[in-house]
């Protein structure tokens, strides 16, 4: 049976109205609660008036359903229809149908006039076109089928699946959804931008869910776009989601070297005719605007493909429906709902600070949803959204729990459970706060769903992150204003990346967001401690460890990310420019890096970026030359794939100033490599640059062969026509009368 729990009672009535209209080949009118004596649906035939009553009781017992049914008898007596239908999502047994029929048998032909969940399900199957007017229902059904038949993908995507299923019931299908579908259908790429809390991620999740129903494998990108490149499978329809791809709070961290190239390459590739790949990106509007100023590729791509969709403020109808859906699917107390129904909704949906994130918070378990005065508390939160976390943080959390929220600030995006516990324990120890294994676990339980979210990653490792970026912003302000906490965080940090993360938040670097000046001022006052912490953690293991498989065995182990030392050296240079630090630390960091490169360990893009940073920094010439020689040797000795050739030849021409057409032996070596590479099953990665390289070497024949491969496109998919969702009259939905009737349901 289909999962009707994703629908609100209003959405269920709309579905039933469409089904009855198709079943009886007539127009079925729908009425809001209280407006017409309890009528939900009605239609007229030559026999007379027909009425249908809908009861969406997905969280209630049959006893409650029967009691509710009996309350309708007086209303039906006044209307005296020739036929009355009672329709519910409750999965009724034969005997339960009979009991409801006994209540209404004066207006029913038979017990068949009582329809349970399975009967509604059968009607949907009979009138299959109706389901596609109700996006949330058919998408949920399609996802369930996909997960059931693709256990391996379901296993890998469990965390993403849980987030989609959690957000689906509260989602309101708005015009922005159709616009995003159109952009994605036309270009295969959709970049969703907008202010914080507007619902970018929820919209992206709906698009993901829809494509999952069509057989697309979902891939969530978390670190950089190279994850998408390495996950590509030629014959498999795939949809990629890269949330906050330019950063969560500010555009402080510039994209890694060539990240804009890789991103633009993949957009070009996916946008090609016949591609069976889709890409959804999401970012805050001001961060995107800043990034476009720094990366021309992003601006030029959008001007050619027009794949950027900017979410703007919701209209009145959407605001009302979003609030209603959140309330209907929440555990808000009955008296609080009555206060909303009696007019409390008005000051919420018309508020200048209205956004779905605040609505979600004020209808969730972290908010007081039981005591009288609920609409006022709701409005006070909208008046001062910065107090959302302040009250809960100060009044409901122990110091140990507060320190856990603060510790998470020093991790980028998310933290693995064991590393977070290590950093948290170190901070607690520095501040003489008792923390045990059990109290740490208790802190996680208390914070989950409010300050933090917990999920499993693709490797089934437990991962923790702040509930949303506003928690990060709040916590950073707390750290910035409490020098004692700042000092303790710096002195206790077991991971170098904790220091760089704090510094990055303080520094900023965006044209729109200048960073957290209070935090930077506090760090500056503690720069001696900060430098000692850098020296202490310089060669510590990385927070960004990756899992590696041992040969052809099933044995795996964790290693540091390849660019660990490159990132740390660049950070040391950055701190040196800001504060001026001991040259001994710089030399120690660069010498570690040289050893790293001499053993052919490292990330080539990061290495090139780091060597350039060293060239631009006032360091000793002998140290710079040693770094260059080590990297040059590493690049020259490792030419196994197209990327290796790209980085080595770029190094020769851009850094050493050597014309490639003056190296015939290298050209011959490149031709042998490409002859082998072009025989591979899918030799498409980085071929544009390989063609350019062949041209530079003067290898015309090879250049022509690469061009032939580039002209081969993916096999085209079957034509995809997005199913239309039902379009409502916004004028009617935005009317004061309609909205009043909508919220009146909550007061019943």
| Position 342 pLDDT exceeds 70 | yes
- Decide the pairing of beta strands 308-310 and 189-194: parallel
Confidence of residue 366 (pLDDT cuts 50, 70, 90): confident
pLDDT by residue (tens digit) across 75-111? 899 888 999 999 999 999 999 999 999 999 999 999 9
* Domain 4-130 identical in fold to domain 135-310: no
- Decide the pairing of beta strands 462-466 and 217-221: unpaired
pLDDT by residue (tens digit) across 3-50? 898 899 889 999 999 999 999 888 888 875 444 455 789 999 888 999
Q: How far apart are CA 467 and CA 471, in angstroms?
A: 7
Mean pLDDT throughout 504-532?
A: 78
Beta bridge partners of 44: 49
Q: What pLDDT score does 718 carry?
A: 41
Mean pLDDT throughout 561-583?
A: 91
Mean pLDDT throughout 380-399?
A: 83
DSSP-derived 3-state class of residue 397: coil
Q: How much of the chain exceeds pLDDT 70, in percent?
A: 86
For 15-78, give the secondary structure using H, E and C: HHHHHHHHHHCCCCEECCCCCCCCCCEEEEECCEEEEEEEECCCCCCHHHHHHHHHCCHHHHHH
Tokens of 614: 């060293």
DSSP-derived 3-state class of residue 629: helix
Q: Is 173 left (phi over 0), alpha (psi -120 to 50) or beta?
A: beta
| Position 57 pLDDT exceeds 50 | yes
Domain regions of the chain by residue span: 4-130, 135-310, 316-385, 639-711
> Is the whole model's pTM more than 0.85, yes or no?
no
Confidence of residue 714 (pLDDT cuts 50, 70, 90): very low
DSSP-derived 3-state class of residue 539: coil
pLDDT by residue (tens digit) across 131-162? 878 888 878 888 888 888 877 777 777 777 88
> In the CATH scheme, what is the code of domain 135-310?
3.40.50
Q: How far apart are CA 249 and CA 231, in angstroms?
A: 27
Q: What pLDDT score does 252 carry?
A: 44
Residue reference for tokens 């109205």: 17
Which fold does the domain 4-130 belong to in CATH? Trna Endonuclease; Chain: A, domain 1 (3.40.1350)
| Position 336 pLDDT exceeds 90 | yes
Of 382-391, 400-409, 627-636, 643-652, give the lowest mean pLDDT range: 382-391
Mean pLDDT throughout 299-325?
A: 80
């Amino acid at each position: 049976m289909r999962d009707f729990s994703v629908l609100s009672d209003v959405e269920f009535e709309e579905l039933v109205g469409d089904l009855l209209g198709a079943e009886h080949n007539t127009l079925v009118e729908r009425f809001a609660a209280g407006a017409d004596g309890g009528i939900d649906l009605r239609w007229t035939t030559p026999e007379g008036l027909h009425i249908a009553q809908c009861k969406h009781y997905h969280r209630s017992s049959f006893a409650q359903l029967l009691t509710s049914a009996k309350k309708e008898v007086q209303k039906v007596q006044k209307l005296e229809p020739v036929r009355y239908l009672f329709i519910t999502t409750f999965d009724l047994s034969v005997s339960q149908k009979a009991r409801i029929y006994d209540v209404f048998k004066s207006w029913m032909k038979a017990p068949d006039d009582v329809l349970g969940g399975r009967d509604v399900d059968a009607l949907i199957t009979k009138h299959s076109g109706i389901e596609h007017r109700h996006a949330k229902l058919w998408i949920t059904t399609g996802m369930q089928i996909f997960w059931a038949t693709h256990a391996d993908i379901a296993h890998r995507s469990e965390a993403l699946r849980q987030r989609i299923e959690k957000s689906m019931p509260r989602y309101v299908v708005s015009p922005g959804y159709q616009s995003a579908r159109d952009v994605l259908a036309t270009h295969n790429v959709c970049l969703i931008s907008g202010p914080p809390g507007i619902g970018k991620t929820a919209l992206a999740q709906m698009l993901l869910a829809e494509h999952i129903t069509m057989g697309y494998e979902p891939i969530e990108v978390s670190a950089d776009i190279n994850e998408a490149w390495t996950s590509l499978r030629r014959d498999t329809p795939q949809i990629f989601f890269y949330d906050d791809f330019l950063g969560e709070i500010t555009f402080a961290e510039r994209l890694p070297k060539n990240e804009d190239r890789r991103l633009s390459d993949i957009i070009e590739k996916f946008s090609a005719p016949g591609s069976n790949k889709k890409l959804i990106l999401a970012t805050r509007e001001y961060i995107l605007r800043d990034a476009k100023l720094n990366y021309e590729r992003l601006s030029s791509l959008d001007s050619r493909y027009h794949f950027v969709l900017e979410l703007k403020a919701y209209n009145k109808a959407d605001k009302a429906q979003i609030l209603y859906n959140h309330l209907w699917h929440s555990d808000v107390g009955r008296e609080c709902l009555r206060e909303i129904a009696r007019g409390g909704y008005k000051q919420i949906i018309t508020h200048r600070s209205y956004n779905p994130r605040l609505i979600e918070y004020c209808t969730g378990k972290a908010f007081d949803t039981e005591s009288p005065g609920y609409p006022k508390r709701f409005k006070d939160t909208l008046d001062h959204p910065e107090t959302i976390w302040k009250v809960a943080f100060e009044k409901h959390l122990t110091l140990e729990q507060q320190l856990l929220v603060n510790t998470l600030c020093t991790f980028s995006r998310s933290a693995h459970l064991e590393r977070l516990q290590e950093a948290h324990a170190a901070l607690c120890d520095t501040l003489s706060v008792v923390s045990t294994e059990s109290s740490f676990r208790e802190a996680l339980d208390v914070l989950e769903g409010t300050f933090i979210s917990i999920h499993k990653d693709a490797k089934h490792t437990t991962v923790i992150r702040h509930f949303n970026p506003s928690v990060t912003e709040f916590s950073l302000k707390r750290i910035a204003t409490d020098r004692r906490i700042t000092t303790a965080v710096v002195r206790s940090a077991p991971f170098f990346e904790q220091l760089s993360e704090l510094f990055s938040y303080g520094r900023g670097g965006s044209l729109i967001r200048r960073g957290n000046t209070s935090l930077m001022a506090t760090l500056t006052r503690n720069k001696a401690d900060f430098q000692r912490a850098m020296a202490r953690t310089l060669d510590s293991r990385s927070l960004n460890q990756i899992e590696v498989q041992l040969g052809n065995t099933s044995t795996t182990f964790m290693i540091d990310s390849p660019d660990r030392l490159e990132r740390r050296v660049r950070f040391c240079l950055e701190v040196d420019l800001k504060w001026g630090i001991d040259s001994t630390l710089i030399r120690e960091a660069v010498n570690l890096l040289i050893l790293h490169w001499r053993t052919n360990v490292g990330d080539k893009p990061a290495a090139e970026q780091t060597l350039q940073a060293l060239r631009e920094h006032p360091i000793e010439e002998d140290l710079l030359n040693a770094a260059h020689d080590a990297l040059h040797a590493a690049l020259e000795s490792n030419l196994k794939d197209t990327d290796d050739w790209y980085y080595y030849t770029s190094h020769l021409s851009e850094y050493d100033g050597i014309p490639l057409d003056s190296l015939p032996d290298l050209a011959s070596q490149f031709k042998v490599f490409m002859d082998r590479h072009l025989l591979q099953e899918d030799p498409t990665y980085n071929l544009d640059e390989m063609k350019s390289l062949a041209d530079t070497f003067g290898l015309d024949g090879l250049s022509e062969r690469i061009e032939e491969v580039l002209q081969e496109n993916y096999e085209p998919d079957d034509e995809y026509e997005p199913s239309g969702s039902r379009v409502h009259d916004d004028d009617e939905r935005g009317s004061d009368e309609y909205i009043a009737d909508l919220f009146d349901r909550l007061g019943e």
